[in-house]
Amino acid sequence: MNAELLRQYLEFYRDLGIQTLYRQNAPAGEPLADARGSDQSRDREGAGGGTLANARGSDMAPAGDTLIAIQNDIGDCQRCRLHEGRHKIVFGVGSERAPLVFVGEGPGADEDAQGIPFVGRAGQLLTQMIEGTAKKEGIALTREDVYICNMVKCRPPGNRTPEPDEMEICGQFLCRQLMTIRPKAICALGGTAARAVTGHKEGVTKLRGKWFQWRDIPVMVTYHPSYLLRPYNQDAKREAWEDLKKVLHFVYD
């Protein structure tokens, strides 16, 4: 990569609020460069309080960016400690032109084994919710028509919540995914994804069912399907279906 192109990429990521970029084959934690730039850009980092909520700058991703290019840039990622226990990187699945993107927290054991997001019990419930709600509402829609991905692309050990530095490193790729797809709406699944995308610090019970924005894209927050699998969360399941109805009608009506 020549110096001018590298400079453009650094400016792009600096405007997104991303502080540090990491080399594909570097030892874990070794940075490629500091993208923070001027004191002015450093001063505005953290405003809004979310990994992705700080995203600013051009409405365009790097010229010619595609999902394939982003996946190639991730490569056999070893940029953070999450690579140490993972089996497969779970990039995302769906159409590059999908008008609706679902963002979860991170892969689980089934996803780590298959390299596909939301294929375990929670994923099966998400598929039922998408397709079942769409059918009841008279919307011709299947799982393949939307795009599904996670905040982090590698499974956290024991399915723990991703650490802030892990989310920041993976956040640069999620930003590019969202900017490449440019969906009509984003549905954030669970508190971690909701806080990262919206920048709000409240829990998911206070954020769900409301509209927020990431850049100029509307964001609907709802419960993560894994939360809905618990037998004592029947009210939450009903609320999640209502949230999904809102976002489906917004996108597809």
136-158 pLDDT, tens per residue?
A: 999 999 999 999 999 999 999 99
Rounded (5°) CA angle 65-67-70: 70
Please state, for a pLDDT cut of 70, what percent of the chain lies above it. 76
**Burial letters for 131-150: b for 16+ Cβ neighbours within 10 Å, e otherwise?**
bebbeeeebebebebbbbbb
Q: Residue 55: its pLDDT value, please?
A: 46
- Bridge-partner residues for 217, per DSSP? 214
Contact 84, 155 (CB under 8 A): no
In a 3-state reduction of DSSP, which class is residue 188? Answer: strand
Range 75-93 burial, b when 16+ CB lie within 10 A, else e: eebbbbbbeeebeebbbbb
Cβ distance 223 to 214 under 8 Å? no
CA-wise closest residue to 220 among 191, 185, 177, 253? 185
Pick the most confident of 13-27, 29-43, 50-64, 220-234. 220-234
What is the reported pLDDT for 233? 79
- In degrees and rounded to multiples of 5, residue 162 shows phi and psi of -60, 145
Q: Which residues pair with 94 in a beta bridge?
A: 147
Model confidence at 122: pLDDT above 70: yes
Q: 3-252 adopts what CATH topology?
A: Uracil-DNA Glycosylase, subunit E (3.40.470)
| 30 vs 165: which has the higher pLDDT | 165
Question: What integer best gives the mean pLDDT of the chain?
Answer: 84
Q: Please, which residues bridge with residue 147 across strands? A: 94, 101
Give residue 38's pLDDT band: very low, low, confident or very high (50, 70, 90).
very low
**What sign for the dihedral angle of Cα 208, 209, 212, 218?**
positive
Q: How far apart are CA 54 and CA 141, in angstroms?
A: 32
Give me the pLDDT at residue 49, please.
45
The pLDDT assigned to 41 comes to 31
Contacts of 113 (CB under 8 A, 6+ apart): 87, 88
Other Cβ atoms within 10 Å of 42 Cβ, number = 13
Whole-number pLDDT of residue 200: 94
Structure confidence at residue 223 as a pLDDT band (50, 70, 90)? very high
